[in-house]
Structure 1
Amino acid sequence: MKTKVLAALAATMAVGATCAFAANPFVDVPSDSWAYKSVVELADAGIIQGVDGQYFQGNRNITRYEAAEMVAKAMAHMDKASVEQRALINKLADEYADELNNLGVRVSALENRVGNVKLTGDARIRYIHQSEGDRVKDTSKQPVAKGTDVVNKEKKNDNSWDYRIRIRANAQVNDRTQVVYGISTNNISFADNHTASSGDLDNGDNIFTDRAYVDYNFGGNNWNLKVGRYEYDMGGDRGYGFLFGDTFDGAQLKYQNDKFAATAGYGKFKEGQLAGDEGTMDGVKTGYGELEGFFGGGRVAGSAIGVYYNDFTVSGSEGKEVARDAFAFDDAWGAYGSLNLGKWNILANYEKYNSENSSNDDPEVWVGKVSYNKANFATPKSWDAWVEYLNADNGFYNDGSFIGSTRGWRDGSLLNNVKSWGVGVDYTFAKNAQFQVMQSFATSAKDGDADPGEETRAQFVFVF
């Protein structure tokens, strides 16, 4: 390790120091040594300090943390490095990423190095079962989103397991611009090796592009522009957000600081019910906006409140009236509050969907959730637990399913005309590996229908 690191840092000695006449700070490096000039320049740049400020001890093996400290100081002078020197520093930063992170050089800073391409991803193995209950809806003819958590009756009653794999490539073009490309499988059943969801069984597409966008920061990094295919979440990052587009083509402009954020965007849902239904509906487009305020710790660690609005447009191959029968909502709005109290978080979220047809109901959705602690993929043995309450009106689809995909974990028959409680636990049993379990209880129909069955969900999630 000593030879490799010192040789690499010797190549970067010109990054931080150019004075050929700097004083030698080490009593054990004679002026006639072959390494004299390199050692002096590295010391003058502040990259090395030696031992007790007096001895270089060139024959001693250094620790990984000492090597990481040298790399961190070289990174601070990246703006003065040549292309070859930057490549060398980047290579060292990759090798000592964990130590750099522990020393306070954030991983995000490493990921933002120009020219760096980082591959990430996740794999999920999932079990879902819903009891028959008094009301079982056959949703097998309703399209659902690829890779999402919506399943049909056949899957639930089969007690089946399925899996999904996603891969992301993040390329840092320059200090402001990042390009992201990602692919995902559908939820694929172990039982028969076909798509577990029913929405796209006919086309046989088990792997698809779910991310392809450019992310550009400007204005001191307070402004962000995202264009391409990305994930759209109603209610943003902090709200519960029923409506969800895991594959959404659009453009989004966002301004944020530590106290305030404003988001505006426009695009089209590309998968699931909102993308179209057997030629009747060509797809749903939405213009959206969100305002958020942060307090008691700022945007990252503090509490937040937010309001958001969606304006929907829809067209159909058989005319607007038919398309509106498939998706009968003109707009929607919502509000959330997220309160952090140490390890506790309390979330409340409200949404209302306004029907274009005055004879239809305007369904409302209430969600309340209390969470304790935080399960972190990077921290083995970390865990969290939560309890949740859902109250959703009838009025989405006649068969009882929800209008599209949702970030919630419940299945479609537990999202419409229902009151339901749920509990869950997340546990990181190894680094980058987590076990999650969810269970509904005390579920009942709101408007006189028979009650749906309870849902049990358990899954292993691995990130890399």
Structure 2
Amino acid sequence: HMDKASVEQRALINKLADEFADELNNLGVRVSALENRVGNVKLTGDARVRYRYQKDVKENDNSWDYRVRLRANAMVNDRTKVTYGISTGSKSFAENGKAEDENDIFTDIAKVDYSFGSSKNWNLSVGRTDKYVIGGSKAYGYNYGDVFDRAELSYKGDNFKATAGYGRFKEGGLAGFDYTYKDANDVEHTVSIEGTKTAYGLIEGSFDNGTAIGAYYNTFHADDYNTLVNGSEVDDLWGAYASFNFGKDWNLLANYERVSYENDISTARGKEDSASVWIGRLTYGKASMATPKSWDAWVEYLNAEDGAFIGGSTNSWRWGAMDNLESWGAGIDYTFAKNAQFQVMQSFASKIKDNSNNSSDPEEQTRAQFVFAF
């Protein structure tokens, strides 16, 4: 009799459906179907307090920042969903301005999703998403994983999915402003990508245990064709990944990515027209925000040639110069209470990959953060 429930009763049903989400899922009950019947608008959000440290780069107040995001999800009908969200962005504790002057809250998600087909296995999504990851959700997201305006068509079957889309990057050096950084050899790189757009495609095959293998491709162009890295246009990017689940709690991710340039660029290896990166990550366990005391631990390996990182807003936990680098990393995620998680990451054994100038190896990076969902 949920359709006849009062506002108070619907609120109770929502609360119970959330509290017993894991149990209902184990029983095969579609919680989303219950939510659709008790109300078509749901408000969610998250908050993050973050600490990042690297000697002589991020220290003291500059190491601390926070971010808060709010989302409104509305089911128009059983096939159409509208999502809108706002974000504060990452606000540094090193900023000295008045709080009332920080009027930079922005829309980081505003999209419409429409499912069609007899089994609703086709989806058309138009608008802004807060998390477009080059390579998809199973890939590492080395070059980009942030706000993105696009139109995207995807198909998802039992063991296969395919995605194609076209859009514009909205964050990082790919978002319409110059991005300058120095690599491990103290060579300055400038990325000037004004309104960069990309056409992209992704295919992925999966197995019953969650193992997935995929490949992806992006081609870049700007309205005024000045997509530059060290004086050369970024042409395209392609990659492949394999995410293996084995045993009860183990996952191994292997990701390869290669970026090509229209003309040769100056790198630590000399003049090159392309650069690649290899990434591997081994994870044990799974930290779920809905399950207190759940946890995971991981170790990763990064091997990136000079020129592999094109200056986007990376999906990695790392920051700064991320190419011409060979580095290890490790981390732990622990859900200490429902919807509350602590995460810590640390790099180690980091060194310059092609050290033609005999420069000092980069300082190690430390990151720790509390994440809360509501």
TM-score where L is the length of structure 2: 0.85
User: Would the alpha carbon gap of residues 429 and 128 (structure 1) be closer, same or farther in structure 2, given more than 3 Å must change?
Assistant: same
Counterpart position of 1:78: none
Would you say 1:268 and 2:188 are equivalent positions? Answer: no
Would you say 1:289 and 2:201 are equivalent positions? Answer: yes
Cα contact 2:238–2:257 (8 A) shared by 1: yes
**Shift of residue 88, structure 1, vs aligned partner:** 8.3
Q: Distance in 2 between matches of 1:326 and 1:239?
A: 29
Q: Distance in 2 between matches of 1:293 and 1:405?
A: 27
Counterpart position of 1:394: 306
Would you say 1:108 and 2:15 are equivalent positions? Answer: no
Cα deviations by residue, 1:392-433 (Å, 9 ceiling, x for unpaired): 11025xxxx7511111111122x1110000000011111110
Partner amino acid, structure 1, of 2:86: I
Percent identical across equivalent pairs? 58
What SS does structure 2 have at the residue aligned with 1:237? coil
What SS does structure 2 have at the residue aligned with 1:94? helix
Cα deviations by residue, 1:303-326 (Å, 9 ceiling, x for unpaired): 00000000101234xxx3575656
Cα contact 2:62–2:92 (8 A) shared by 1: no
Match for residue 76 of structure 2 among 173, 189, 202: 173
Would you say 1:163 and 2:61 are equivalent positions? Answer: no
Q: Distance in 2 between matches of 1:441 and 1:266?
A: 37
Match for residue 294 of structure 2 among 340, 363, 382: 382
**Shift of residue 445, structure 1, vs aligned partner:** 0.4
Counterpart position of 2:251: 345
Counterpart position of 1:335: 240
Which structure is higher in strand share? 2
Counterpart position of 1:22: none
Match for residue 209 of structure 1 among 91, 97, 107: 107
Cα contact 2:45–2:69 (8 A) shared by 1: yes
Q: Distance in 2 between matches of 1:165 and 1:383?
A: 23
Cα deviations by residue, 1:283-313 (Å, 9 ceiling, x for unpaired): 110000000000133xxxx100000000101
Size of the alignment, in residue pairs?
344
Partner amino acid, structure 2, of 1:167: L
Counterpart position of 1:309: 217
Larger Rg: 1
Cα deviations by residue, 1:94-125 (Å, 9 ceiling, x for unpaired): 24324653343343333334852111111000
Counterpart position of 2:373: 463
**Shift of residue 450, structure 1, vs aligned partner:** 2.8
Cα deviations by residue, 1:17-53 (Å, 9 ceiling, x for unpaired): xxxxxxxxxxxxxxxxxxxxxxxxxxxxxxxxxxxxx
Q: Distance in 2 between matches of 1:95 and 1:451?
A: 52
Counterpart position of 2:260: 354
Counterpart position of 1:124: 48
Counterpart position of 1:403: 311
User: Would the alpha carbon gap of residues 322 and 242 (structure 1) be closer, same or farther in structure 2, given more than 3 Å must change?
Assistant: closer
Gaps of 5+ in 1: 1-11, 13-73, 75-80, 133-152, 196-202
Cα contact 1:392–1:418 (8 A) shared by 2: yes
Would you say 1:372 and 2:284 are equivalent positions? Answer: yes
RMSD: 2.5
User: Would the alpha carbon gap of residues 452 and 194 (structure 1) be closer, same or farther in structure 2, given more than 3 Å must change?
Assistant: farther
Q: Distance in 1 between matches of 2:151 and 2:235?
A: 21
Match for residue 225 of structure 1 among 121, 124, 134: 124
User: Would the alpha carbon gap of residues 278 and 307 (structure 1) be closer, same or farther in structure 2, given more than 3 Å must change?
Assistant: closer
Q: Distance in 1 between matches of 2:164 and 2:350?
A: 36
Cα deviations by residue, 1:303-352 (Å, 9 ceiling, x for unpaired): 00000000101234xxx357565673110000000000120000000000
Q: Distance in 1 between matches of 2:371 and 2:42?
A: 20
